[in-house]
Structure 1
Amino acid sequence: MGRQATIVGAPGFVGQRLHARLRTEGWDLYAPAKGDPELLGRDLGVVFYCAGLTADYDRRPFDTVAAHASLVSEIARQGRFERLIYLSSTRLYDGQLRAEVGEDEPLLFDPRDPRRVYDLSKALGENITVARTGGRGAVARLANVYDWADGAPGFLSEWLIRARRERSLRLESSPHIRRDYIHLDDVVEALVAMASGEPAGIVNLASGELVSNAEIAGVFRAAGWEIAFAGEAEPPPPPNARIDKLRRLGVHPRPVRDVVRAYLEGLAP
């Protein structure tokens, strides 16, 4: 029997791919359903806490707090795990008034802003993980994760999925918006690396580069697609997340332009 792992949120976007990867490597996996009464009464091995809300967090603030902080608090309190790896988000950097940020810098939040329930609840989950687990906790702050499997969430994922059936795309966004994108397989690679070695504290799972929609559209156009955008908004870019810690784990995320280019080459007739 292989190493033991528990994936909380296994049916989700990251959880599914992580489960598939660990299964092929021979891990002994436990993927509890929501509300599984056995979760807090058994040895869990390495816990990958992948549960959370994203798109509808503002509409469901109390569910957001429960998903991001309440359950992980119970897991930390019962303590029957080898390691706890909590999935958070580089969205927590959005309040930083800096061009570039690292994992060890304090975060800034305005608690009067109702939309900050996502950031504040994730920050609480992070605090429990790194400060209340006796040195057994680590946090993975994910940037914008993308893939092209059916149902993959997020703007770029939907763009790539549409490209399989459409050669002319009009996108409800602006060419000027910049984001840090990391492919789902690189995220899984990083999570497996975090489960190996010593706990690494907080680690940015990002590419380390902000890329505009216009730059990605250029890759599409070079491959033969027609791309148009519905808007021209030019919001300030988010802080760029440094990835020195990630590289020290031996993980080197692929640039989004290279991944998209290879994907489109595979779609070409």
Structure 2
Amino acid sequence: MTTAHPLPGGRTAVIGATGFIGSRLTAALTAGDPRVPAAFNRAVPPVADGRAAPGLAEADIVYFLAAGLSPILAERRPDLVEAERRLLIEVLDALAAAGRRPVFVLAGSGGAVYAPEVAPPYRETTPTRPDSAYGHAKLRLEHELFRRRDAVRAVVARLSNVYGPGQRPVRGFGVLPHWLRAAVRGEPVRVFGDPHVVRDYVHVDDVTRFLLALRTRIAGGRLPSVVNVGSGVPTSLSGLLDIVSEVTGGSVAVRWERGRSFDRQGNWLDVARADAEFGWRAAIPLAEGVRACWERVLDDAGRAASVPTSVSTL
């Protein structure tokens, strides 16, 4: 878990504050700083009538964590891709009109934007050439942000495969919550494509710790425009399956499936820049993180089982 502590830096706004990453960051900010962050979500929009909402207009650092896309949605719902782009543009326009130039942190993708023909690990200097609708959508957001350097000090955090307790299974996204939910139900887990393909899994609390570290630099000084945020450790699907089997206390039945069009070949990130610039490296071992996820799944399943499904009246 992220430890609360006094945080340096100025006023903070979180867009996407109720999401998987945003809720962790908002909780850490609220616990560690008397200046409660301005929190925005679908119910509390950051922009109204073209004007930045209170809290956003005064922010010294803005975290844009409002991503609602998955690889499947990016392929099948171009309207949602455009809606996410429009939201980013509206926020940047509103900040420009407010006359401030805050640090603006965009959650990007480290697994979908780099050129697949280049051998990993991917550095920030690796050429970008997405080969999926999701990767194109993520890179387009980066381009929109960098076009507005007059309005903000832009930082893109290219995240690898983020996981952690409480992550909801979303179709086509986040293999671990799907596998653990199947395991708790006694169902086979579905493995798509080559089981030897590797990914870079990073715990959500480590990601939160990186986002907090960015606050130390908002008072001035140079900020890198792009930073990889991952474990830096390649883990194959078969290796992750071994960890899940060990954590759940037995062998896991597997259903092998063909690969999907949006699945990338092996990728993982070089995180040397995050270390050099911010003294950050992922600290939570994958087996430890998966165990915490499994314990949360068991707790949730136990609570669900204790709720009556019907009420009889006499």
Matching residue of 1:28: 36
- Aligned-residue Cα RMSD (Å) equals 3.1
Q: Which deviates further from its counterpart, 191-200 or 37-46? A: 37-46
Query: Does the Cα contact within 8 Å between 2:163 and 2:201 map onto a contact in 1?
Result: yes
CA displacement at 1:256 relative to structure 2: 1.6
How much identity, in percent, do the aligned residues show?
26
Letter in 2 for 1:240: W
CA displacement at 1:257 relative to structure 2: 2.9
Distance 1:251 1:89, change over 3 A: same
Query: Does the Cα contact within 8 Å between 1:48 and 1:84 map onto a contact in 2?
Result: yes
Matching residue of 1:119: 135
Query: Does the Cα contact within 8 Å between 1:9 and 1:50 map onto a contact in 2?
Result: yes
Query: Does the Cα contact within 8 Å between 1:149 and 1:161 map onto a contact in 2?
Result: no
Letter in 1 for 2:45: K
- Choose which of 98, 102, 107 in structure 1 pairs with 2:123: 102
Question: For residues 22 and 152 of structure 1, what CA distance do their matches in structure 2 show?
Answer: 26
Letter in 2 for 1:120: H
Query: Does the Cα contact within 8 Å between 1:76 and 1:132 map onto a contact in 2?
Result: no
Q: Which deviates further from its counterpart, 204-213 or 254-263? A: 254-263
Tell which structure's C-alpha radius of gyration is larger. 2
Question: For residues 31 and 169 of structure 2, what CA distance do their matches in structure 1 show?
Answer: 21
- 4+ long deviations beyond 6 Å: none
User: What secondary structure is seen at the aligned counterpart in 2 of 1:173?
Assistant: strand
Query: Does the Cα contact within 8 Å between 2:188 and 2:252 map onto a contact in 1?
Result: yes
Query: Does the Cα contact within 8 Å between 2:65 and 2:107 map onto a contact in 1?
Result: yes
User: What secondary structure is seen at the aligned counterpart in 1 of 2:241?
Assistant: helix
Unaligned runs of 5+ in 2: 1-5, 299-314
CA displacement at 1:98 relative to structure 2: 1.5
Matching residue of 1:45: 60
1:176 aligns with 2:176: no
Count how many residue pairs are aligned between Structure 1 and Structure 2. Answer: 261
TM-score (norm 1): 0.82
Distance 1:160 1:131, change over 3 A: same
Matching residue of 1:243: 271
- Choose which of 253, 257, 262 in structure 2 pairs with 1:228: 253
Distance 1:40 1:122, change over 3 A: farther
Unaligned runs of 5+ in 1: none
CA displacement at 1:86 relative to structure 2: 0.7
1:92 aligns with 2:109: no
Letter in 1 for 2:90: L
Distance 1:230 1:193, change over 3 A: same
Query: Does the Cα contact within 8 Å between 1:47 and 1:81 map onto a contact in 2?
Result: no
CA displacement at 1:144 relative to structure 2: 1.0
Question: For residues 105 and 189 of structure 1, what CA distance do their matches in structure 2 show?
Answer: 25
